[in-house]
Amino acid sequence: MKILGIESSCDETAAAVIEDGQKVLSNVVVSQIDIHAEYGGVIPEIAARSHIEAVNPVIEKALKDAGETLDSIDAIAVTHTPGLVGSLMVGTLAARTLAILHDKPFYPTHHLKSHIYANWLSGYNPEFPLLAAVVSGGHTQIIYMKSHDHFDIIGSTRDDAIGECFDKVAKILGLPYPGGPNIAKLAENGNSDRYKLPIPQVDAYDFSFSGLKTAVLRAVQHELGKDISTPSTELKSLLTSQQKADFAASFQKTAVKILINKLQKALNDYPEVKSILLAGGVSANQLLREELHKAFDNQCQVFVPEFKYSTDNGAMVASAAYYSIQAGEKPSDPYALDISPRSIIC
The domain locations on the chain are: 2-119+309-326, 128-273
Closest residue by Cα to residue 98 from 68, 127, 119, 78: 78
- Going across the sheet that includes 140-145, the strands are 152-156, 140-145, 130-135, 275-279, 301-303
- Nearest Cα residue to 199 out of 138, 253, 130, 118: 253
Q: Are 29 and 13 in contact (CB under 8 A)?
A: yes
Q: Report the share of the chain in percent with pLDDT over 90.
A: 86
Q: What's the pLDDT at 340?
A: 87
For the cut 80, the answer to whether the pLDDT of residue 228 exceeds it is: no
Task: Place 230 in a pLDDT band, splitting at 50, 70 and 90.
Answer: low
Write down the pLDDT at residue 33. Answer: 80
Strand partners, 6: 15, 78
Q: Would you say the CATH fold of 128-273 matches that of 2-119+309-326?
A: yes
Distance, in Å, from the CA atom of 300 to the CA atom of 132, rounded to the nearest integer, reads 13
The whole-number average pLDDT for the span 233-243 is: 82
Does residue 229 have a pLDDT over 80? no
CATH number of 128-273: 3.30.420.40
Give residue-wise pLDDT tens across range 37-81. Answer: 877 788 889 999 999 999 999 999 999 999 999 999 999 999 999
- How far apart, in Å, are the Cα atoms of 254 and each of 162, 176, 190, 199, 215? 11, 21, 14, 7, 11
How do residues 86-122 score in pLDDT, each as one tens digit? 999 999 999 999 999 999 999 999 999 999 999 999 7
With a cut of 80, say whether residue 138 has pLDDT above it. Answer: yes
Which one has a higher pLDDT value, 59 or 340?
Answer: 59
Give the pLDDT mean for 123-152.
94
Question: Which candidate, 312, 320, 284, places its Cα nearest to that of 18?
Answer: 320
In angstroms, the CA 82 to CA 344 distance is 8
Contacts of 129 (CB under 8 A, 6+ apart): 144, 145, 146, 147, 270, 272, 273, 274
Average pLDDT over residues 295-315: 96
> 338 pLDDT band (50/70/90 cuts)?
confident
For the segment 288-317, the average pLDDT, to the nearest whole number, is: 97
- The alpha carbon of residue 213 and the mean position of all alpha carbons in its chain are separated, in whole angstroms, by 19
- For 2-119+309-326, give the CATH class: alpha beta
Q: What's the pLDDT at 343?
A: 76
Q: Helix count (H) and strand count (E) of the chain?
A: 12, 10
Q: Where are the alpha helices (DSSP H) in 208-240?
A: 210-224, 232-238
Alpha-carbon gap, residue 289 to 257, rounded angstroms: 12
Q: What single string gives the DSSP state of each residue in 287-317?
A: HHHHHHHHHHTTTSEEE---HHHHSS-HHHH
Mean pLDDT is lowest, of 103-112, 186-195, 225-234, for 225-234
Of the candidate ranges 80-94, 207-221, 231-245, the one whose mean pLDDT is the lowest = 231-245
> Is the pTM value of this prediction over 0.95?
no
Task: Give the sheet arrangement for strand 12-19, strand by strand.
Answer: 23-31, 12-19, 2-7, 75-81, 106-110
Q: Classify residue 207 by its DSSP letter.
A: B
The total of other beta-carbon atoms located within 10 Å of residue 319's CB is 31
The average confidence (pLDDT) of the chain is: 94
pLDDT of residue 149: 86
Judged by DSSP in three states, 154 sits in: strand
- Residue 232 is predicted with a pLDDT of 61
**What percent of the chain is modeled with pLDDT above 70?**
96
Give the whole-angstrom CA distance, residue 19 versus residue 74.
10
